Amino acid sequence: MYQTDFLIIGSGIAGLTYAVKVAQQFPGKKVLIITKAATDETNTKYAQGGVAVVNDLENDSFEKHIEDTLIAGDGLCNKEVVEVVVKDGPERVKELIEWGAQFDKEKDGDYKLGKEGGHSEFRIIHHKDITGFEMERALLDKVASQKNIEVLKHCFVIDILTQHHLGYLVTKSSPDIECYGVYALNLQTNKVEKILSRCTLLATGGNGQVYRTTTNPSIATGDGVAMVYRAKGRIENMEFIQFHPTALYEPGLKGQAFLITEAVRGDGGILRNKDGEAFMEKYDARKDLAPRDIVARAIDSEMKRTGTEHVWLDCRHFDKEKFIEHFPNIYQKCLSIGIDIMKNMIPVAPAAHYSCGGIKTDEWGCTSINNLYAAGECSSTGLHGANRLASNSLLEAMVFAHRCYLDVTVKINDINLRTDIPDWNARGTSDPKEMILITQSLKELQLVMSDYVGIVRNDIRLHRASKRLDLLWEETEQLYQSSTLSPQLLELRNLITVGYLIVKGAMFRKESRGLHYNTDYPGKSELVQNIVL
């Protein structure tokens, strides 16, 4: 059994930023970070484009960044949260630079600024095309230098502990649900640990793996969202899944799709259809730099119209040296599969990329469950609304990790550790006889979600998806009750819950707004609402 003051689930940008801050503020208290994979295996590590932050006050302003974020969010952003995130951004980035992160600079020492879809100015700071890798590296180095932080890797959190584990009935309408820590499957010992904590932060990242094609790594299975839903906490706006327009199309690829960052279009990359036509001007005046939802839908429509599985991204007119300087990783990846970007166009198709909704929090990162915070992609803070503005997510994670830290600082001394939670009970379970049941159900889930709950939706497809998910849920619950635990089974169970929440959100939203497009309701409803489940 572990006991700690601060428990953090997840070692991406949100979890690590918060961990460093609480560890520095409370050198006498224990900070424990748990992660289910290798420490750096996170969505953060794969972020390419960079961080949106107002830097160049001559040409840019907070007001412009706020306005761009609100336009992308399509009426559902919380304006106060947008203002807080945008205005706090420069300070958080400065802090990360002080902790050792490096961003590309011009010869005169100013930061190089990129531009992405939906941004009215150049404001994306970056480290070549591996910004997330550099940020994760700097944060892990900083964590390693803090004596009171312990990192437990390959440890899979199953559920958060609440009054339910003390034998009380906990429902959605129970007031004052409290979090006392977690049960976690230690993948090195195969034992379920009871980890007690005075306060817990969920920083479990996204859920792209619920779809067949995604830019997200295999860890992105929506575990935090599913845990909070099971614990009767509030989940919001799950229907808003951002599909990145340009993932590299590799026929037969299973698992994570390689991303071609939007910054390539920011630097002049042009989308072309099967016939070589630059089609974006048919769809939006901003052409290739329209917001992602518009570009993804335009590509989807071109692919359906021409019966192809991808479109092309044309970079043949780029200056080779400049391209390699800004996008060395993309250049090498393309070359490794026989694409010389100076001679060949890059085949690209949309892929699930970012979850705008998630665990509902207030403006300090507090969830609806006491002593439980959420930050980063698993949370729904009000920043993104119906659509995330490109490169606003790393920024949000840093700002909200900081706000969770500010909030917990004034509360921690009044929170007691609860030690009377029973140990995990594995009686009546045995090893699953056929792993194929789990892998097949996962495939079915991903197919259902991709075919019926993708970029373009309608009521018939959503109802079909809902029915299929009910069956998958029933079968998986039976397996869960009778089997010894494995990460595959736990992830399947969480992904089915996440799929269910996306479908439910989509069914409740009788309109098309932001990332949610339903052909049965092509317009916007007058009722502007967040859907809370």
Ligand X SMILES: Cc1cc2nc3c(=O)[nH]c(=O)nc-3n(C[C@H](O)[C@H](O)[C@H](O)COP(=O)(O)OP(=O)(O)OC[C@H]3O[C@@H](n4cnc5c(N)ncnc54)[C@H](O)[C@@H]3O)c2cc1C
Active-site residues, by number, are: 292
CB of 464 to ligand X, least distance (A): 28
The residue behind tokens 């959420």 is 374
The count of chain residues that interact with ligand X, using the rule CB under 6 A, is 43
Asked whether the CA dihedral 518, 351, 252, 279 is positive or negative, the reply is positive
Give the x/- contact pattern for ligand X in 462-501, rule: CB under 6 A.
Answer: ----------------------------------------
CB of 123 to ligand X, least distance (A): 12
Q: Which of 130, 313, 394, 496 binds ligand X (CB under 6 A)?
A: 394
By CB under 6 A, is residue 54 in contact with ligand X? no
Considering only the stretches 375-383, 405-413, 429-437, 443-451, report the one whose residues sit in contact with ligand X under the rule CB under 6 A: 375-383
Closest to ligand X by CB, 132 vs 468, is: 132
CB of 520 to ligand X, least distance (A): 30
β strands within 162-279, DSSP E: 181-186, 191-202, 235-236, 241-248, 270-272
Q: Which of 19, 20, 31, 47 binds ligand X (CB under 6 A)?
A: 47
Residues 344-373 that bind ligand X (CB under 6 A): 354
Residues 72-131 that bind ligand X (CB under 6 A): 131
Closest to ligand X by CB, 182 vs 462, is: 182
Q: Report the C-alpha dihedral over residues 532, 394, 6, 167, rounded to 10 degrees.
A: 20
C-alpha to C-alpha distance for 222 and 208, rounded to whole angstroms: 8
Closest to ligand X by CB, 140 vs 324, is: 140
Residues 231-270 that bind ligand X (CB under 6 A): 259
CB of 223 to ligand X, least distance (A): 3
All residues at 6 or more sequence positions from 391 whose CB lies less than 8 Å from its CB, including other chains: 49, 50, 51, 52, 116, 119, 124
By CB under 6 A, is residue 68 in contact with ligand X? no
CB of 124 to ligand X, least distance (A): 8
Q: What are the CA-CA distances from residue 141 to residues 169, 369, 397, 414 (Å)?
A: 43, 32, 18, 31
Q: Which of 4, 42, 446, 476 binds ligand X (CB under 6 A)?
A: 42
By CB under 6 A, is residue 514 in contact with ligand X? no
Q: Which of 5, 68, 223, 239 binds ligand X (CB under 6 A)?
A: 223
C-alpha to C-alpha distance for 102 and 120, rounded to whole angstroms: 25
Closest to ligand X by CB, 131 vs 446, is: 131
Closest to ligand X by CB, 223 vs 511, is: 223
Considering only the stretches 7-15, 82-90, 310-318, 344-352, report the one whose residues sit in contact with ligand X under the rule CB under 6 A: 7-15
Considering only the stretches 49-57, 272-280, 456-464, 522-530, report the one whose residues sit in contact with ligand X under the rule CB under 6 A: 49-57
Considering only the stretches 37-45, 313-321, 459-467, 473-481, report the one whose residues sit in contact with ligand X under the rule CB under 6 A: 37-45
CB of 438 to ligand X, least distance (A): 16
- Give the phi and the psi of residue 449 in degrees, each rounded to 5: -65, -40
As given in the structure block, the two tokens for residue 406 are 């500010």
- Neighbouring C-beta atoms of residue 455, cutoff 10 Å: 20
Q: Which of 19, 20, 22, 203 binds ligand X (CB under 6 A)?
A: 203
CB 126 within 8 Å of CB 133: no
By CB under 6 A, is residue 37 in contact with ligand X? yes
Nearest Cα to 218, choosing from 474, 505, 439, 393? Answer: 439
As given in the structure block, the two tokens for residue 12 are 């991406």
- Give the phi and the psi of residue 398 in degrees, each rounded to 5: -65, -45
C-alpha to C-alpha distance for 110 and 93, rounded to whole angstroms: 14
CB of 6 to ligand X, least distance (A): 15
By CB under 6 A, is residue 205 in contact with ligand X? yes
CB 345 within 8 Å of CB 313: yes
By CB under 6 A, is residue 291 in contact with ligand X? no
DSSP secondary structure code for residue 288 in this structure: G
Closest to ligand X by CB, 42 vs 381, is: 42
CB 234 within 8 Å of CB 367: yes
Considering only the stretches 22-30, 34-42, 309-317, 509-517, report the one whose residues sit in contact with ligand X under the rule CB under 6 A: 34-42
C-alpha to C-alpha distance for 157 and 151, rounded to whole angstroms: 14
C-alpha to C-alpha distance for 191 and 51, rounded to whole angstroms: 39
Helices 393-411, 13-25: inter-axial angle, 10-degree rounding = 30
Closest to ligand X by CB, 142 vs 468, is: 142
CB 223 within 8 Å of CB 494: yes
Q: Report the C-alpha dihedral over residues 25, 28, 29, 32, rounded to 10 degrees.
A: 90
User: What are the residues binding ligand X (CB under 6 A)?
Assistant: 9-15, 34-37, 41-44, 46-51, 131-132, 156-157, 203-206, 215-216, 219, 223, 259, 354, 376-378, 391-394, 397
